[in-house]
Structure 1
Amino acid sequence: MRPLVLSTSDIGGGAARAAYRLHQGLRSIGVPSQMLVREKSSGDRSVIAEKSLLTKLGPPSIGLPLRQYPQREQKLFSTQWFPDNIGRQVQKLDPDVVNLHWVCNGFVRIETLTQLNQPLVWTLQDMWPLTGGCHYSGSCDRYQDNCGNCPQLKSDRDNDLSRRVWKRKQKAWRDANLTVVTPSTWMSDCVKASSLFRNRRVETIPFCLDTQVYRPIDRTVARNILQLPQNKQLVLFGALSATADRRKGFHLLMPALQQLSQQGWRERVELVVFGAEKPNNPVDLGFNAHYLGSFSDDLSLSIVYSAADVMVVPSIYESFGQTASEALACGTPVVAFNATGPKDIVDSHHNGYLVKPYDIDDLARGIAWVLEDDDRHEKLCYQARQKAEVAFPLDRQARLYQSLFNQLIAEKKRG
């Protein structure tokens, strides 16, 4: 079996890292996986960068169709209209199965899937494959029908860009030998409700990680490395574009922290943020805040997680929520909303706290609950690591994909 993993990048961002971890996991169990990307940042020889002129021209062209919607919401919206060279490159590599991940930003055109004769497995990193262009639909359920009148485009027309993109997907993918894998039950529910994929086979396999890299590091040592205070309880928040991306929920965390500060925690707690630089005019969060900037390697991230007493993941939507699983692997309890992907990761009152969705009072309550009792906190930390060792080891994910790939290859051979 020779799988090919398709991803816009290998390690640039959470979706890329999830794809690359699977690729590494497959190779670690003896599966000769290859990975084809537009942007290669690692030195891994099994990762191939697609360097054709079309691949270079794709990203600058992706926004052209959106110019007709100047009032649209400034959220990611992908039309994937620009031609690519992926079909030819896949043909040269000649894999037995193709595993797609996040392939937007001008990398893989919608119609390219018709050129791939191998069984296709699409690991959904967000909702884009289900919709007319948006990556998370929010409160809109038009992807369950045929899109149009798109609220993100601020469109009042049925046959708008979202409807046209939806129709392209419907036509191009109708006869594809396509299986869907989601990392969470929430994403599986979205797939089953979608008009494009509701009749497809759907498997749920969580994103996993190397639990020998993401592991508890002595808290005192971790804080010394990061120059963080030893005499405070540290609340951690972080993501790519942590404070700028509204989906990550920093605007919900801010009032929860301010509430905690007014409840007597001000001298006991400090905030640590990764994935963002300190703003020129910081908001008063009620606590001293340490902005660590961005980290691109797993070891640095494991040190960051290990330095904290609690990780808060206040995301509005997550297909999975890798910062939550990474924190658990480092023995750090997690507070997250009881919604979307994180509700599969956190076991409330066992290795963290699941908050009533988008309730700021309960978010503050959850952070306090994790921190207020030292004996309970120690137990939560132990159980966090236990959960990661059982649920998220990389070889577990790799073997589940290996089994799925073998099934699909065998089915194709049978006819």
Structure 2
Amino acid sequence: MIKKGNIVILTASHPYKAAGLVAFDLMHSLEMANYNVQIITNARLEKNYEQTFSLRGVSRMIFTHRILKSLRIRFNRLFKITRFKTDPNYHMNGLNPMKGIMLSKKIAKNLPSKVDAFIYLFPQNFLDTTGLNYLNKITKAPIFWYMMDMAPMTGGCHYAWNCLGYTAKCGMCPGIYSNDKSDITNQLWQEKKKYIESANIIPIAASQGQYNQLKSSSLFTDKNKYKVLIPIDSNIFKPNNKHDARNKIGLPLDKKIIFFGAASINESRKGLKELIESLKLLKSEMILEDSTVFVAVAGNRNQQLENEIPFAHKFLGYLNYKQLATAYQAADLFACPSIEDSGPMMINQSIMCGTPVVSFNIGVSLDLVINYKTGFKVANGDTLEFAKALNLILTLPTNELENMSFYCRNLGLEKTSMESICKLWKRILEYEISNQ
């Protein structure tokens, strides 16, 4: 069968680890539409990495710059770049970006003779808009910026919280405690605007929550805008027998199990403080005996968190993709307490496994969490309503919980499976490539 075109995925994150796996799953989605796909990353790769990936069908993997970090440090010292005091809640990783022309030129030497489109994700310490502009000019290929957070829309932060600077020109940035309207975030916004406007850079949101922000973004005012949920491998993330799943990861067979992830316990945006409060409210208000509830936590054991969880619990440690799918399959529900997030992708995964979700009404919950059908979403930060939603699912009759699980799986296949995402990308790519 003749290949339709060459797509190059550019990513700073390791495409076979954690959230970086989006690139790997995206590649397979595009291959379903018969595109030839290449991934280019600046992540450090293991010695056996390419052998592992060749078995999974990755066409090519290039490590673009092993000394990027040391060059960045030298660059900052040479030009006496000021280091700012930052508020960690905003994740100000976009400050002092290293210019991307050097990396772009290196990437250009390793491209196919003809590139039909680039897809760019996870930009930290990789390419800035200068570099993207360069690649667009020399290849004439559109660049689809697939946004994993708010970084493409701002002058430096990855999460804006209640700040609306990204709807104007940034400046007076709370992430650097600034009262100056012409601060570094405004300067970076000005530079981004210049290179985005003069290149064919097209933003793609990964959730409805993010798409709502994108529509207000001042950097992409005159650009076509799209929403494509993160693809999930439905052959890995799928419903399974709960007893079998619980036996695999050592969870009790006779309990109601709440599952959640705690990889970043010190990040306010992940909402673990709110979740603990909700769990305590659940224990005091629930109809069930508390001895019937068990909490499973993805992440390594943390004494502070362990002391706060009011139910019997188990830390499952770091989970790879298949183990994570097993955890969803074992649970009666997935609790997602994030209060500032463009996703999170764990909602997509849980829904695909047929596991109902309780979340706040942010990010991808607006797409996938439908009250009384796939779980419940409640007002952001409302811990009492979150607790009530947990209780509602835990006390559902077996047949109603099975119906909810069935609806979850069907919605997952419809909205976020590789096949459905493939169709969306195909339609977008064909339209934008033919009309550039």
TM-score, structure 2 normalization: 0.88
Match of 2:118 among 69, 93, 98: 98
Distance in 1, Cα, partners of 2:239 & 2:189: 45
1:12: which partner in 2? 17
Report if the CA contact (8 A) 2:228-2:424 is conserved.
yes
Distance in 2, Cα, partners of 1:389 & 1:31: 21
Distance in 2, Cα, partners of 1:201 & 1:301: 35
TM superposition outliers: structure 1 runs of 4+ over 6 Å: 61-66
Distance change in 2, residues 1:61/1:174 (3 Å): farther
2:91: which partner in 1? 76
- Does 2:282 correspond to 1:260? yes
Distance in 1, Cα, partners of 2:166 & 2:393: 38
2:70: which partner in 1? 57
Deviation by residue 1:262-299 (Cα, 9 ceiling, x = unmatched):
22542111111103433267323211121111123x21
2:103: which partner in 1? 86
Q: For 2:12, what is the secondary structure of its paired residue? A: strand
Amino acid at match of 2:103: I
Distance in 2, Cα, partners of 1:222 & 1:215: 12
- Does 2:159 correspond to 1:136? yes
Tell which deviates more after alignment, 72-81 or 205-214: 72-81
Amino acid at match of 1:11: Y
Distance in 2, Cα, partners of 1:97 & 1:201: 15
Deviation by residue 1:339-383 (Cα, 9 ceiling, x = unmatched):
332121111110111112210000000000011022322221121
Report if the CA contact (8 A) 1:328-1:334 is conserved.
yes
The structural deviation recorded for 1:162 is 1.0
Distance change in 2, residues 1:275/1:281 (3 Å): closer
Q: Number of paired residues?
A: 408
Q: Indicate the RMSD between aligned Cα atoms, in angstroms.
A: 2.2
1:109: which partner in 2? 128
Amino acid at match of 1:13: A
The structural deviation recorded for 1:56 is 4.6
Q: For 1:347, what is the secondary structure of its paired residue? A: coil
The structural deviation recorded for 1:319 is 1.7
% of aligned pairs identical?
Answer: 24
Amino acid at match of 2:282: L
Amino acid at match of 1:268: T
Match of 2:240 among 217, 221, 232: 217
Consecutive unaligned residues of structure 2, counting only runs of 5 or more, are none
The structural deviation recorded for 1:12 is 3.0
Q: For 2:202, what is the secondary structure of its paired residue? A: strand
Report if the CA contact (8 A) 1:58-1:107 is conserved.
no
Distance in 2, Cα, partners of 1:54 & 1:164: 27
Consecutive unaligned residues of structure 1, counting only runs of 5 or more, are none
TM-score, structure 1 normalization: 0.92
Q: For 2:295, what is the secondary structure of its paired residue? A: strand
The structural deviation recorded for 1:53 is 4.9
Match of 1:389 among 413, 417, 432: 413
Report if the CA contact (8 A) 2:259-2:335 is conserved.
yes
The structural deviation recorded for 1:90 is 3.6
Tell which deviates more after alignment, 40-49 or 261-270: 40-49
Match of 1:359 among 377, 382, 403: 382
Distance change in 2, residues 1:369/1:60 (3 Å): farther
Q: For 1:325, what is the secondary structure of its paired residue? A: helix
